[in-house]
Structure 1
Amino acid sequence: MTGDDARDERTTRRLPTVGPESSPGTGEHAASPGDSGRGHSGPGDSGPGDSGPERSGSDATDEGGGDKERNRRFWSARRVPAGVVALLAVAGVALTLYDVAAVRAGRSAMAWRRELADQLAERPLDNPWMIGGAAGAMAVGLWLLVLALTPGLRALLPMRRPAGVPGADHVRAGLYRNAAALVLRDRVMEVPGVQSVRAAVGRRRVTIRARAHFRELDEVRKDVDTATADGLRELGLARRPALSVHVRRAAKR
């Protein structure tokens, strides 16, 4: 036997014999045609149709509403204050430049500028007009700083972005506070025993004032608490406000 024949014989002995008892698809661990690309399920694995480990509702809520960068308040454009300040600044600078250019050209300065210069030179710093003017300028400056550093749109509450929804990262939703108050009012009015409801929705607190005309006040208050909490959860706000519920007996006529 030559060397090539010996290598062929050893290779043939190493190969498994394929027969009726060991054909693919009939063994104990063989995968069915629909199992290609999937692992075998163990005792703790998810069954067919499960996309992954199940998450509780609180985890999903934290994932969607816990990111402060994604659920920040809406910023107001404030076009009217910005436009007014820009127009006043442009008018003042243009008028001053024109007067300075006229003086450089040999003409006399405007009367208002000469009068202003004389008054500033003659009046002391403790003069009431000087103090009033400085206080007014400081108030205007503080007002502009507040407008520049605060978001504004206090009547609009940001809503939570749902996790796992395609395109949710590029869309922001908000809910007006009066609309949220109307929804909560309707939910509380469905509670048996409630005659009238006043709902006030703030950025940090929701106040419900209800009047009951039958049933025990403790039972009505408990049902109102439950209805309001469920309503707040269904509103999907990014930051859930605190809840304050007041239930009183309706006045007898």
Structure 2
Amino acid sequence: MTEPQDPGNSTRRPPTDDRVEHGGAVALDQSASAASYDPAPTKEGGGSAGRFWSARRIPAGLVALVVLGGAGLLLYDVAAVRADHPAMRWRRSLADELAQRPLNNVWVLAGAGVAMAIGLWLIVLAATPGLRDLLPMRRDRPGVRAGLDRTAAALVLRDRAVEVSGVQSVRVRMGRAKVAVRAVSHFRELDDVRADLDTVLTTGIDELGLAKPPSLSVHVRRPAKKG
């Protein structure tokens, strides 16, 4: 990828902040270099590759147990009343409390708020796919789906980045839509290091085979001065 140029076809260097004298001449020493790039167009595959949906077995199992227990207890109590037995004490106490307490009572409002929060949580779980750490890969063959863990993808890109000459350390943050790379360079021009990182990481992202390649953000800086 290339840096955008001004209308005069002359390359403009990023602003610098430190001045260093060499043999009477004043040179500018950069402290950081950064750039962001949009992802390249995706390649045509063997079908659409949507996100993986989480089974969410634990929330589903808890809800099923609560509903089953409550329905079974209520059904037993109703059957006992039909058989001329008195209703359970908890149901009589609950009916009396609900009949005596007004709707603006603190406990009634608190119970309604808790029930609404649980209901919204269940709706969100049912309507969202989940598995945010699993990135869908391109479907090169119909009927085959594959995913890549975000942590594993970040480690692959980090291994690629540390091989670039001049890179001392790298931190890669892999998101579903953006890859943020922060590197420390102890020698070479920062623009040159960032340009090499752009090339290496762009190739690395493409070779990951993701269905929706994330955009790339690269930031290179000098090590912090000691003392």
- Give the TM-score range, shorter chain: 0.7 to 0.9
State the match for 1:230 in structure 2. 203
Q: 1:175 Cα shift?
A: 0.1
Report what 1:149 is aligned to.
127
1:225 deviates by 1.3
Aligned to 2:142, the other structure's residue is in SS state helix
How much does 1:252 deviate? Answer: 3.4
Residue 138 of structure 1 aligns with an amino acid whose one-letter code is M
Q: Deviations over 1:19-55 (max 9, x none)?
A: xxxxxxxxxxxxxxxxxxxxxxxxxxxxxxxxxxxxx
2:222, 2:135 → 1: CA distance?
A: 32
> Would you tell me which structure has more helix in proportion to its own residues?
1
The count of residues paired between Structure 1 and Structure 2 equals: 187
1:64 partnered with 2:45: yes
Question: Relative to total residues, which structure has the larger strand share, 1 or 2?
Answer: 2
* Counterpart check, 1:91 vs 2:51: no
Q: Any runs of at least 4 consecutive aligned residues in structure 1 with deviations exceeding 2 A, and if so which?
A: none
Looking at structure 1, the residues matched to 196 and 174 of structure 2 have their Cα atoms a distance apart, in angstroms, of: 19
Q: How does 1:1-253 map to 2 (within 5 A)?
A: 61-64=42-45, 70-162=48-140, 168-253=141-226
Give the CA deviation at 1:222.
1.1
Cα deviation, residue 139, structure 1: 0.8
Partner secondary structure for residue 87 of structure 1: helix
Q: Counterpart amino acid of 1:155?
A: D
Runs of 5+ in structure 1 lacking a partner? 1-57, 163-167
1:125 and 1:213 mapped to 2: Cα distance?
Answer: 68
Question: Structure 1: how far apart are the matches of 2:89 and 2:185?
Answer: 72
**Whole-angstrom CA distance in 2 between matches of 1:190 and 1:174:** 26
Counterparts of 1:110 and 1:194 in 2: how far apart (Å)?
73
Q: SS at 2:193's partner residue? A: helix
Between the aligned partners of 1:119 and 1:205, the Cα distance in structure 2 is 54
Structure 2 unaligned residues grouped into runs of 5+: 1-39
Q: Distance in 1 between matches of 2:216 and 2:148?
A: 18
Q: Which amino acid aligns with 2:139?
A: R
Distance 2:96 2:175 in 1: 52
Alignment partner, residue 48 of structure 1? none
Q: Identity over aligned residues, as a percent?
A: 65
**Structure 1 residues 160-185: Cα deviation after superposition (integer angstroms, max 9, x where no partner):** 022xxxxx211100000000000000
SS in 1 for 2:171: strand
Between 1:171-180 and 1:222-231, the stretch displaced more is: 222-231
CA shift digits 1:66-105 (9 cap, x unpaired): x5xx210001111111111001100000000001111111
Which letter does structure 1 place at the counterpart of 2:44? E
* Structure of higher CA gyration radius: 1
- Between the aligned partners of 2:55 and 2:153, the Cα distance in structure 1 is 23
CA RMSD of aligned residues (A): 1.5
- Give TM-score scaled by structure 2 length: 0.79
The TM-score with structure 1 as length reference comes to: 0.71
